[in-house]
């Protein structure tokens, strides 16, 4: 058996002695050497994930086609495999060239995927020739799938032909009867029906009905390109009833790929097990959200830009005060502002933060126990704006939702909050996560869960936390000695005892976190400055 390198997310959490040689957080080399470990190995279970296969064309600008399908499925939590039918040279200006993949090679790709992978739903996009459609239909008959979503791509929004009228007959006669849903836009609906005008919601209804007669189980006529319509309206006919899906029309030029994204998002929801109706509802809501998020981004010089499927790009816009990665030395003087203390001294949260920064705090945590979420979020946003230009990380106590909403640098969580691993899954790999731990076992668990640092305490008794067990210097030392993460000491620390803590001189102890000794005082900046001097003196003693 030997060595296995694995991602911890696929395996049940191994015990700490199995972690030899930690390469970096998140990846561990596990040696299968003991019966216990062998048993653990057998307990490993595989998880089957929902899977969509897209059969479509590549868009070099990556706004539509295969690239949109991959991004949408990934954003919607579904695996996506790909069979490429054509390669387009395309950007935000238009389509400069199309190279059609041979029928044989489309067949080969289909066979590779379908003979190996168990997939749930097939979604089709650009099918540039009747031969390719025939090859696809043969494969679909040979390998059963749960659902088929057909987006009858013909003309790009720039007006360029992606699949000409030659395909119409084969599409209608061979592919449509196999489809669970087809999703033409208004122009495609018109082309499928011999050019009848489709310009109003009433036209969309009758087009949906006529296309349904061709054989698919459901027809969704999309109204993104409907003229003179303030809302974005799509019409579904399921053979019996009509449904209207309506959302606000987002004012943006970034709509390149909405059709592909809608169809692959419908496929993704069907793969997860949704009904057609709820799949459309969720997919449309997703398209609306990503368009809203992306409405002001600019990629390319053309008339119709792509959007951001993962709603992350704007977070990385370069600015003068970009976030920097966490450094354990940030823990040196960790200021925790407490809402009750601020109230007692008549300070706003942002004034407390400003004063702590002025005094030299190296990291700040907001602890809010009383205000409404909306008020807390507003104050936290202001604090993020104050901290970032100084390069001081800002963490939120307990409230992962608030940390995300204000784009704080991270969170600090306790033993009764959600596990670090869950917080990490929500927050992603970049955000800082600290966990309060009283024992080496808790510290180990925090490390396995993907935390960045440990807060250990209470070192001394404190009024800030009721019923908090004091671990003392001895408890702190034990945690520091065994922790694989940097540790910040917390609980009753101030100018009278900070030296005793820092001069413990144990590995991993990187600083002190302070509440009352900074904020339950007249001058926050003065107290912070004094404490920093004492910390620096005691670290000098150690050197
Ligand atoms: N500006 C917008 N705001 C909100 N929703 C929109 C907007 N434009 C399109 N949609 C929605 O996006 C989905 C795709 O619609 P559309 O009619 O644009 O498809 P398409 O023309 O095939 O797309 P593509 O531009 O990729 O070719 C539909 O659900 C539509 O209602
Ligand atoms: C490859 C490809 N497929 C679909 C569309 C429709 O948006 C496009 N523009 N390009
Ligand atoms: Mg469109």
* CATH number of the domain within which 138 lies: 3.40.1190.20
For ligand 2, mutation pick of 66, 84, 126 (most atoms within 8 Å of CB): 126
Ligand 1 close to Cβ of residue 224 (< 6 A):
yes
314 located within any domain: no
Cβ-contact 284, 262 below 8 angstroms: yes
Ligand 1 close to Cβ of residue 262 (< 6 A):
yes
Would you mind telling me the total number of residues written for the chain in this entry?
543
Average pLDDT over residues 297-321: 87
Active site residue 260: yes
Whether 378 shows a pLDDT value over 50: the answer reads: yes
Look up residue 72 and give its two tokens: 């949408």
**Catalytic residue (one of 125, 257, 410, 494):** 257
Q: Each residue of 314-335: b (16+ CB within 10 Å) or e?
A: eeeeeeeeebeebeeebbbbbb
- φ/ψ of 454, rounded to 5, equals -115, 135
Whether 33 shows a pLDDT value over 50: the answer reads: no
219 located within any domain: no
Average pLDDT over residues 132-151: 97
What pTM was estimated for this model as a whole?
Answer: 0.82
Please, what sign has the CA dihedral across residues 28, 33, 37, 41? Answer: positive
Number of domains in the chain: 3
pLDDT at 1: 34
Q: What is the rounded (10 degree) CA torsion for 280, 286, 289, 293?
A: -140
Judgement on whether residues 335 and 352 belong to the same structural domain of the protein:
yes
Judgement on whether residues 443 and 509 belong to the same structural domain of the protein:
yes
Judgement on whether residues 356 and 472 belong to the same structural domain of the protein:
yes
For ligand 1, mutation pick of 72, 162, 232 (most atoms within 8 Å of CB): 232
245 located within any domain: no
164 located within any domain: yes
320 located within any domain: no
321 pLDDT tier (thresholds 50, 70, 90)? low
Judgement on whether residues 38 and 57 belong to the same structural domain of the protein:
no
User: Domain end: 245, 273, 307, which one?
Assistant: 307
Judgement on whether residues 424 and 448 belong to the same structural domain of the protein:
yes
Judgement on whether residues 165 and 17 belong to the same structural domain of the protein:
no
Judgement on whether residues 15 and 67 belong to the same structural domain of the protein:
no
Judgement on whether residues 397 and 444 belong to the same structural domain of the protein:
yes
pLDDT digit string (tens) for 87-111? 999 999 999 999 999 999 999 999 9
User: Domain end: 307, 340, 371, which one?
Assistant: 307
Judgement on whether residues 381 and 290 belong to the same structural domain of the protein:
no
Ligand 1 close to Cβ of residue 263 (< 6 A):
no
Judgement on whether residues 13 and 161 belong to the same structural domain of the protein:
no
Cβ-contact 537, 530 below 8 angstroms: no
> Which residue in the block uniquely carries the two structure tokens 């799938």?
145
Judgement on whether residues 38 and 168 belong to the same structural domain of the protein:
no
17 pLDDT tier (thresholds 50, 70, 90)? very low
126 located within any domain: yes
Q: Which domain does 9 fall in, by range?
A: 3-43
Look up residue 468 and give its two tokens: 């908090």
Whether 243 shows a pLDDT value over 80: the answer reads: yes
238 located within any domain: no
Look up residue 362 and give its two tokens: 């190296």
**Catalytic residue (one of 224, 259, 410, 434):** 259
Indicate which residue's Cα is closest to atom 29 of ligand 1. Answer: 284
Active site residue 222: yes
Whether 437 shows a pLDDT value over 90: the answer reads: yes
211 located within any domain: no
Q: Which residues of 140-204 form beta strands (DSSP E)?
A: 147-150, 181-182
Average pLDDT over residues 331-356: 96
Question: Sheet harboring 121-124: ordered strands across?
Answer: 95-100, 79-90, 51-59, 121-124, 147-150, 181-182, 218-222, 231-237, 242-248
Ligand 1 close to Cβ of residue 63 (< 6 A):
no
CA of 87 to the centre of ligand 2 (A): 10
Looking at 33-42, 225-234, 308-317, 360-369, which range is the least confident one?
33-42
Mean pLDDT score across all residues of the chain = 90
User: What CATH number is associated with residue 441?
Assistant: 3.20.20.70
2 pLDDT tier (thresholds 50, 70, 90)? very low
Judgement on whether residues 104 and 171 belong to the same structural domain of the protein:
yes
**Catalytic residue (one of 123, 222, 284, 445):** 222
Ligand closest to 153 (CA) is: 2
Burial of 246 (0-12, 13-18, 19+ CB in 10 A): middle
Q: If DSSP states are collapsed to H, E and C, what string results for 37-49?
A: HHHHHHHCCCCCC
pLDDT digit string (tens) for 447-482? 999 999 999 999 999 876 666 789 999 999 999 999
Average pLDDT over residues 65-72: 98
């Amino acid at each position: 058996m030997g060595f296995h390198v694995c991602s911890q997310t696929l395996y049940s959490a191994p015990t700490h002695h199995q972690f030899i040689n930690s390469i970096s957080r998140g990846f561990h080399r596990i040696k299968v050497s003991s019966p216990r470990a062998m048993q653990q190995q057998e307990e490993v279970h595989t998880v089957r994930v929902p899977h969509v296969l897209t059969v479509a064309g590549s868009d070099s600008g990556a706004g539509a086609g295969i690239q949109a399908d991959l991004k949408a499925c990934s954003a919607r939590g579904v695996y996506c495999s790909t069979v490429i039918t054509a390669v387009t040279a395309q950007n935000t200006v238009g389509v400069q060239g199309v190279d059609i993949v041979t029928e044989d090679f489309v067949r080969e790709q289909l066979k590779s995927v379908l003979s190996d992978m168990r997939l749930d739903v097939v979604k089709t996009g650009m099918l540039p020739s009747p031969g390719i459609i025939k090859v696809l239909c043969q494969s679909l008959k040979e390998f059963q799938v749960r659902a088929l979503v057909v987006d009858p791509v013909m003309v790009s929004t720039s007006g360029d032909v992606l699949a000409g009228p030659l395909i119409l007959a084969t599409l209608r006669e061979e592919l449509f009867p196999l489809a669970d849903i087809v999703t033409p836009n208004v122009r495609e609906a018109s082309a499928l029906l011999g050019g009848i005008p489709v310009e109003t919601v009433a036209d969309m209804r009758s087009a949906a009905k006529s296309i349904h007669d061709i054989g698919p189980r459901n027809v969704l006529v999309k109204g993104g390109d409907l003229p003179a319509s303030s809302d974005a309206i799509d019409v579904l006919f399921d053979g019996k009833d009509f449904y209207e899906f309506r959302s606000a029309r987002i004012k943006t030029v970034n709509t390149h790929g909405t059709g592909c994204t809608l169809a692959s998002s419908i496929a993704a929801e069907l793969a997860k097990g949704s009904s057609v109706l709820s799949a459309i509802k969720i997919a449309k809501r997703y398209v609306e959200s990503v368009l809203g998020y992306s409405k002001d981004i600019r990629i390319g010089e053309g008339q119709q830009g792509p959007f951001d499927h993962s709603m992350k790009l704007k977070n990385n816009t370069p600015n003068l005060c970009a976030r920097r990665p966490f450094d354990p030395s940030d823990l040196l003087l960790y200021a925790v502002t407490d809402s009750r203390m601020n109230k007692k001294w008549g300070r706003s949260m942002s004034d407390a933060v400003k004063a702590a920064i002025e005094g030299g705090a190296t990291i700040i945590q907001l602890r809010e126990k009383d205000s409404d979420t909306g008020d807390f979020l507003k104050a936290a946003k202001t604090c993020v704006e104050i901290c970032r230009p100084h390069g001081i990380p800002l963490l939120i106590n307990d409230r992962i939702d608030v940390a995300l909403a204000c784009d704080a640098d991270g969170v600090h969580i306790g033993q009764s909050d959600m596990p670090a691993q869950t917080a990490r899954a929500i927050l992603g790999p970049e955000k800082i996560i600290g966990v309060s731990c009283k024992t080496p076992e808790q510290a180990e668990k925090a490390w396995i869960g993907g935390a960045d640092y440990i807060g250990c305490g209470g070192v001394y008794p404190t009024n800030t936390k009721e019923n908090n067990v004091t671990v003392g210097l001895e408890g702190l030392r034990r945690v520091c000695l065994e922790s694989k993460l940097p540790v910040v000491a917390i609980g009753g620390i101030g100018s009278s005892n900070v030296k005793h803590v820092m001069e413990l001189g144990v590995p991993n102890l990187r600083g002190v976190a302070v509440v009352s000794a900074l904020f339950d005082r007249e001058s926050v900046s003065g107290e912070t400055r004094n404490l920093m001097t004492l910390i620096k003196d005691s670290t000098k003693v150690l050197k």
